[in-house]
Structure 1
Amino acid sequence: MPLALLALAVGAFGIGTTEFVMMGLLPDVADDLGISIPSAGHLVSAYAIGVVVGAPLLAAVTARMARRRVLIGLMVLFVVGNALSAFAPDHHLLLAARFLSGLPHGAFFGVGAVVATGMVTADRKARAVSLMFLGLTIANIVGVPAATFVGQQFGWRATFLGVSVIGLAAIVSLVLLLPRDSGHDAAATGLRGELAALRSLPVWLALGTTVAGFGALFSAYSYITPMLTDSAGYADSSVTLLLALFGVGATIGNLLGGRLADRSMRGTLFGGLLSLVAVLALFPLMMAAAWSAPLAVVLLGTAAFTTSSPLLLMVMEKASSAPSLASSANQAAFNLANAGGAWIGGLALAAGHGTTSPALAGAALAILGLAVATVAYGVDRRRATPPAGRVVATHTPVTDKTPADRSAP
């Protein structure tokens, strides 16, 4: 695999760290700025909104630019956003800085996926994408726990300064390792042309599968801490280590999904979603015992992230005239899944169905994702099959002679 994929992975590591670390620092930020924890929780939402807004917008407006320059520029914006977060004097400016930090997130993964797949042969595209996302999954194992520890020991502002340094390392890596011929979209026709590429039912079905499939993940994962403490009986001090197991599972699933998707993209997607349904359906049982709860966390990450590479490649394939925009839109869909899944899981809890009920709600969402993926498969087959009675032209001329006759004068 090209060494340039390492540069993309470093950027993904920084993005993954800053996205999830705020959740562990909310009490520290709230105390320092004199606000409530629910108000501090808006900082998580501000970042997610930045991702949803920035993903398609930045990918579309930079479509005519060289991708190498776009990726470097996006990481510069990432560094600026995190540095401003570190020095924000009040809650309102920190909200703005977090929104700014989220803007380059989706576009970086979107453009990065196009660059990654462009550096390898067709039979290794999914693996290339999975190696870029390796930085994101490793961030959940190493980056987030380390950044949380730094924030708790030296103040939350030190965490965002540290993330800015990771961003600078990513910029250096991109400058040194990314080929200079990482060009622009040949088919790009400006913002209107880029958006026109999304006027396709298969594209929206692929994005819908992402929302439902990863909504299933976040319905359960958003409430994994009370499941581990109230249901499995773990102490609060053990949760951080147990959450790192999710990152281990996500890393396994990401690498496994990349390898399998190069053999069968659709088969890997269906297999991953079916596995996710099974894991979430068994979650209440597995969370009832201390020995099986960690296994449940690992399996959740593995099943969910097995689908990440095939989903991204499917969206890019369906919007082939604007792959950067399509893959960026997939990142926006991922963040919508984050918010929507957490909301649906919360409804299950609020209805009094028990601590593990968000997992069962997630299983229902995964079944919905399977249904959408099945519809998408049917649409693809129908479009690929010519209508009855339609004559399909071939390159072989049709004559009224048999092969033996053709040799006659």
Structure 2
Amino acid sequence: MPLAVYVLGLSIFAQGTSELMLAGLLPELSADLHVSIPATGLLISAFAVGMLVGAPVLAVATLTWSRCTALLLFLAVFALTHVAGALTPNYAVLLITRIVGAFVYAGFWSVAAVTVVALVPATARARAMSVVTGGLTIATIVGLPAGTVMGQHLGWRTAFWTVAGLCVVAMAGVLATIPAGRPDPATTPRLRDELRVLANSRLWLAFGTTALVTTTILVVFSYLAPLLIQTTGLSPSAVPGVLALYGLGSFIGITLGGRTADALPFHTLFTGIAGLSVLSAALAITAGSPVLAVSVIALLGGFGFATNPALNARVFSLAGDAPTLATATNFSAFNVGITVGPWLGGLAIDAGAGYPALGWIAAATGLTALGTVVVAALLPVSSPDHSGRCATDRSRGAG
């Protein structure tokens, strides 16, 4: 893999730490800002809303920009939102900084994905994206528990300052490895072609799978800290360790998924989503048992993140030579799930259903996602490409 791919993974680690760390900071944020746990959970949804809007908007706005310039600008704004968030005592202001930061984070994801696609051959796209997305899983292993420890002992604002510093380091890496010139006009994506790709109904089915899988993951993940403390009976000091196990499972899952997704996308998706659904139901049953609950949570990370490379690779394949807007829309689909998951979980908690109910909700959304994979696998193998001609759905492959 080119060094730039790993630098982009480091950049995602820096920003992904912020995306994930609130799951371990909800009790501290709730106490400090004087709002309820479900209200602090909305900070996760607010972040997702910013990404939902930012991905397609910034993907289109930066089509002709230098990729290096775009990535640096997005990182700079992201860092500044965390400085502002660390300084504010106000929940509403923090909510706004989360939305703005997520908006540019989505732009970073979109530009980074297109950069990766241009750097590697088509047969290595899923693996390259698993390296970049691996930055998010390392954030789960390292950033999330570290942020939780900082929040518990030094205050949640320290975690925000740390993310801002990591973004500065990432900017130096981008400046050193990503070419500064503008894209060649002959190869610059055209908006007309990008929009034409979106007429492919297979893409929208793939987007639906992405949104449902992410909802399934986030229903439980968003409330892991209070679940572990209030239902499982663990002490707050044990939560970072469990989150690190979840992250380790995620890293193993995305590594294995990255090695199978290019050749066997449907097999990878079916196995990952089926495992995710079964384990979610298992957590609902075993949430009160520390040993069983912690084991299930670690496996949830593995099966959930194993699907990520296949979700991305399928969209790359269906989009053909105009992947920018399709990729951005897929990131928006991820963030539909990130928005809906905490919202559904919050509704259940507010209704008095208890934290174990989150597992049953996740099992239901997981089975729905599995249904979309089965439908996609049974569809005819040809679909219109961005030129309106009939093209083979290469993502089906041996899967």
Is the 2:189–2:322 contact (alpha carbons within 8 Å) kept by the matching residues of 1? yes
* Stretch moving more, 311-320 or 373-382: 373-382
Q: Quick one: structure 1 residues 211 and 299, their matched pair in 2 at CA, closer, same or farther if it must change by over 3 Å?
A: same
Q: What amino acid maps onto 1:170 in structure 2?
A: A
Q: Secondary structure at the match of 1:292?
A: helix
Equivalence for 1:234: 234
Gaps of 5+ in 1: 385-409
Q: Quick one: structure 1 residues 30 and 242, their matched pair in 2 at CA, closer, same or farther if it must change by over 3 Å?
A: closer
CA distance in 2, matches of 1:361, 1:13: 29
Equivalence for 1:49: 49
CA distance in 1, matches of 2:307, 2:277: 12
CA distance in 2, matches of 1:309, 1:153: 36
Equivalence for 1:267: 267
Q: Secondary structure at the match of 1:234?
A: coil
Q: Provide the aligned C-alpha RMSD in A.
A: 2.7
Q: Does 1:289 align with 2:300?
A: no
Q: CA deviation at 1:234?
A: 2.7
CA distance in 2, matches of 1:37, 1:286: 22
Equivalence for 1:189: 190
- Superposed CA deviations along residues 49-80 of structure 1, whole A, max 9, x for unmatched, are 21111111101111122323322222122122
Equivalence for 2:145: 145
Equivalence for 1:392: none
Is the 2:194–2:323 contact (alpha carbons within 8 Å) kept by the matching residues of 1? no
Is the 1:315–1:326 contact (alpha carbons within 8 Å) kept by the matching residues of 2? yes
* Stretch moving more, 294-303 or 13-22: 13-22
Is the 2:214–2:341 contact (alpha carbons within 8 Å) kept by the matching residues of 1? yes
- Superposed CA deviations along residues 235-267 of structure 1, whole A, max 9, x for unmatched, are 333222112211111111111100111332222
* Stretch moving more, 179-188 or 370-379: 179-188
Q: Does 1:115 align with 2:115?
A: yes
Q: CA deviation at 1:44?
A: 3.2
* Stretch moving more, 224-233 or 359-368: 224-233
Q: CA deviation at 1:188?
A: 2.4
Q: Does 1:303 align with 2:291?
A: no
Q: What amino acid maps onto 1:310 in structure 2?
A: A
Q: Quick one: structure 1 residues 76 and 223, their matched pair in 2 at CA, closer, same or farther if it must change by over 3 Å?
A: closer
Q: CA deviation at 1:346?
A: 4.6
Gaps of 5+ in 2: 385-399
CA distance in 2, matches of 1:156, 1:73: 26
Q: What amino acid maps onto 1:189 in structure 2?
A: R
- Superposed CA deviations along residues 283-311 of structure 1, whole A, max 9, x for unmatched, are 33444533222220111011011110110
CA distance in 2, matches of 1:146, 1:229: 18
Q: Quick one: structure 1 residues 225 and 90, their matched pair in 2 at CA, closer, same or farther if it must change by over 3 Å?
A: closer
Equivalence for 1:381: 381
CA distance in 2, matches of 1:34, 1:229: 19
Equivalence for 2:257: 257
Is the 1:213–1:369 contact (alpha carbons within 8 Å) kept by the matching residues of 2? yes
CA distance in 2, matches of 1:52, 1:74: 15
Give the alignment of 1:303-382 within 5 angstroms: 303-347=303-347, 355-381=355-381
CA distance in 1, matches of 2:315, 2:15: 22
Q: What amino acid maps onto 1:309 in structure 2?
A: P
Is the 2:23–2:223 contact (alpha carbons within 8 Å) kept by the matching residues of 1? no
CA distance in 1, matches of 2:31, 2:349: 27
CA distance in 2, matches of 1:143, 1:197: 36
- Superposed CA deviations along residues 153-209 of structure 1, whole A, max 9, x for unmatched, are 44433322221111111110011122457837936234x654443232111111000
Q: What amino acid maps onto 2:341 in structure 1?
A: G
Task: Compute the TM-score of the two structures, normalised by the length of structure 2.
Answer: 0.86
Q: Secondary structure at the match of 1:291?
A: helix
Is the 1:276–1:300 contact (alpha carbons within 8 Å) kept by the matching residues of 2? yes
CA distance in 2, matches of 1:289, 1:32: 30
Is the 2:67–2:179 contact (alpha carbons within 8 Å) kept by the matching residues of 1? no
Q: Secondary structure at the match of 1:125?
A: helix
Alignment size in residue pairs: 383
Q: CA deviation at 1:152?
A: 4.1
Equivalence for 1:168: 168
* Stretch moving more, 248-257 or 212-221: 212-221
Q: What amino acid maps onto 1:199 in structure 2?
A: A
Q: Secondary structure at the match of 2:85?
A: helix
Q: Quick one: structure 1 residues 4 and 182, their matched pair in 2 at CA, closer, same or farther if it must change by over 3 Å?
A: farther
Give the alignment of 1:60-209 within 5 angstroms: 60-88=60-88, 90-180=90-180, 183=183, 186=187, 188-190=189-191, 194-209=194-209
CA distance in 2, matches of 1:74, 1:210: 24
Q: What amino acid maps onto 1:359 in structure 2?
A: G
Q: What amino acid maps onto 1:249 in structure 2?
A: G
CA distance in 2, matches of 1:290, 1:32: 28
Is the 2:49–2:339 contact (alpha carbons within 8 Å) kept by the matching residues of 1? no
CA distance in 2, matches of 1:90, 1:354: 29
Q: CA deviation at 1:102?
A: 0.8
Q: CA deviation at 1:119?
A: 1.9
CA distance in 1, matches of 2:375, 2:213: 14
Is the 1:215–1:362 contact (alpha carbons within 8 Å) kept by the matching residues of 2? yes
Percent identity of paired positions between Structure 1 and Structure 2:
36
